[in-house]
Structure 1
Amino acid sequence: MLLTIATTHAPARDLGFLLHKHPDHPYSTDLPFGTVHVFAPEATDARTAFTLLLDVDPVRLSRRARPGGAPLEPYVNDRPYVPGSFMSVALNAAYRTALTGRCTGRPELADVALPLTATLPAVPARADDGDLDAGLVERLFAPLGYSVHTARLPLDEQFPEWGDSPYLNVTLHAPQRVQDLLQHLYVLLPVLDNAKHYFIGEDEIEKLLRHAGGWLDTHPERAFITRRYLRFRAYARAALGTPAPAEPTEPRGPTLNEQRYAAVHAALRAAGAVTVLDLGCGEGKFLARLAGDPQFRRVTGVDVSVTALRRARERLGDTAPHVTLLHGALTYRDPRLRHFDAATLVEVIEHLDPPRLHALTASVLGDARPATVIVTTPNVEYNAVWGELGVRHADHRFEWTREEFRAWADASAAHHGYRVTLSGIGDEHPTFGPPTQMATFTREGPA
């Protein structure tokens, strides 16, 4: 990943004082996931540029200490390493003093707006559904005073027929304080990527307010930036000053998750399933429900996370000997998943990047081929009922409308020899439909 910051301020070599880097002395520092290098490819009084090169080491990244040992996720997660939260951490490591606005060598320059140009050769700009949104860079940076130039990048210059990649070459130009440019990049690169590579806690609220407190309140995309940066609805509400929903004064009914489990459980019983796969079982909440029903004589949970499987085993204890837990990825064919009556994917598919859905359907409907497959996923139209904070979970790579879900379900069923029935779960809105949508696939061909 590359970021180049350049200026034509006279004398341009003063940029080194503001960034606390000497143009003649390259700088390197190690991070838990790679190495940051800073060097000056150009350093004259007319124009000076500093380039930050972030070299991500995938082996070091995958071997970071985690509870439960090294997980499988880093090896099946094929998201490229692109400027986002990785680059934000690198900016803080390489330019920490500049981010605070201090300049010991030329203190009078710290508050001066210099003619700055920032160049990023490959930047993700993801819409909420994961597709490239070429206008997103303009929406985020133009209100801050930047002139924005973006160019689509070919997937492979040797094979132009393959089309464009999902990344943009981005150049930003504006008279800005160096501190402001760095803070804008620190916050907005993860927003463009719509992902973070590390655990998100309440301290992220303080990070956002520290780096964006001077400009976010007047930004027209304030709510969008806050939601994307903080990922969790409760954290976004806290940062925006939005009160949490009032506590109900009447006895609480079943939660949406409880309704979802009840609907899938009922569909499994109606299908007459005796052996059941819970794909993407997580920490085993639904497995525990199935384990208590004597109709299901053999239940198997599958998940890519070792930690989640360990917690599922702790939840089940020694009271469910007929429940087996398997470590595996649903996008790869696995002979252990064959010969089951039914399989469930409860709020799973939206956690995959859309290009990987074909591999999942080929694995489940094409290879495992249980007689019944039940899939639930959010209905993105219903998010309007919940207000401006949008997508429901930090790791959702997309959320579908009812029509998009129907199109996917119909095409998948037709391709793999199933018929499919769609239904809704939860209180249905007259305009936006139910909060959760469910597809029940019934096999028509042989196993």
Structure 2
Amino acid sequence: MVAPVSHRATCAAVLVAAPASGQGKTTVTAALARLHARAGRRVRVFKCGPDFLDPRWLALASGAPVHSLDLWMNGEADCRARLHAAANEAELLIVEGVMGLFDGTPSAADLAVHFGLPVLAVIDARAMAGTFGALAYGLQHFKPGLPWFGVLANRVASERHAGMLEGALRDPAHWLGGLPKGEDFALPERHLGLIAADEMHDALARLDAAADALAATPLGRLSVAQLPQVRFDASAVEAIAPLLAGRTIAIARDAAFAFIYPANLDVLRALGARLAFFSPLAGDALPACDAVWLPGGYPELHAEALAARTPLRDALHAHAAAGKPVWAECGGMMALHDTLVTADGESHAMWGLLPGRVTVQKRLAALGPQQLDLAGHSLRGHTFHYSVCDTPQPVAARTTRPNTDAGGEAVYVRGTLRASYFHAWFASSPEATARLFDAAPIGFPHDDS
């Protein structure tokens, strides 16, 4: 165990939450981060719960990597260590919540209570007046001990409307202002969430417009010193042994394979691996490597281009035939099947390392936290996908859901190829992560390695 750092760190900090998804949490979080970052202040942002898309907007807004915080997936010690490290280097720390403030186990409210993060509630105030006050009051008082900062109205129709909303609050001091509905700073969405910031040519302009709108509110006029100040204690964390020292991991990274936690890359480097990135969409060759990671993403949106990458397909076949490991998560696994059928019914011949077909449907197939027991360690993460898999490949193992033995996602093993819809948070078990990229048999009871 690494000895804990003795000192504590204090900085301005808030947790941005809402009554439900779709209220404007990401817009407000990004606007607040952008407002202070472009003024030259050091800002760090976190996202509550597993998420690949919101953090890319928040990273652009803040100018720094954005990590997930989840009391179950990360664990308390990891969350505490990340917050303390960020508070040591930042003037403002912002955590964006997930879904509604009290949704999930653990919820964003649990995180706020655990670390003393005052809640900034964002409420979509369209077609609402007095009920705004009731919602704000309920959010503040539903959970005993919840730290509270105030409430911001979103999509406000007019100054008169804003006055009605402010007047509905029990405590006028909690009014942090209202944002109008603004098409110039709306963040566009598709089936898995927000469209990634790096896919939008005007992403930074949208963030600047949101920051400009926020600057006109009471919240935007507060200095960092006037925001809630929170003390973060240091935490002891386990040292990571260099179990992958001397090995090179080739990682697909582009618009088709974009679901990568920055923290996962940190873990691989701490394990001693050298990382070599390549873009299947750009036609990059597979780098010389000891193992391959195909992360999740949107292969269904780029199926025609991926199907045409026959040199990469052949290189992946040769890699696997040589007994070198492949770890494929969700979208990465989809690309490895014989066939991918898109949501509009188009069928594409894919890379053929796994038999069968994957079909994208219009309704959600799976969502929620999962864990994979591997080599005596539990690797935690989540699942979120719209496609379904029809394959004769035997299921080697299954993930489980928290606090239950119920089976979750299938894990397929074919030689040294391991694939699943499961998205892993590598920091939850660096030892298990190393096994994913090791050529030794994975140790599942029903694999064919």
Both proteins in one fold, TM over 0.5: no
Which protein has the larger Cα radius of gyration, Structure 1 or Structure 2? 1
Higher relative contact order (CA 8 A, sep 6+): 2
In the superposition, the TM-score normalised over structure 1's length comes to 0.30
In the superposition, the TM-score normalised over structure 2's length comes to 0.30
Q: Report the structure, 1 or 2, having the larger strand content.
A: 2
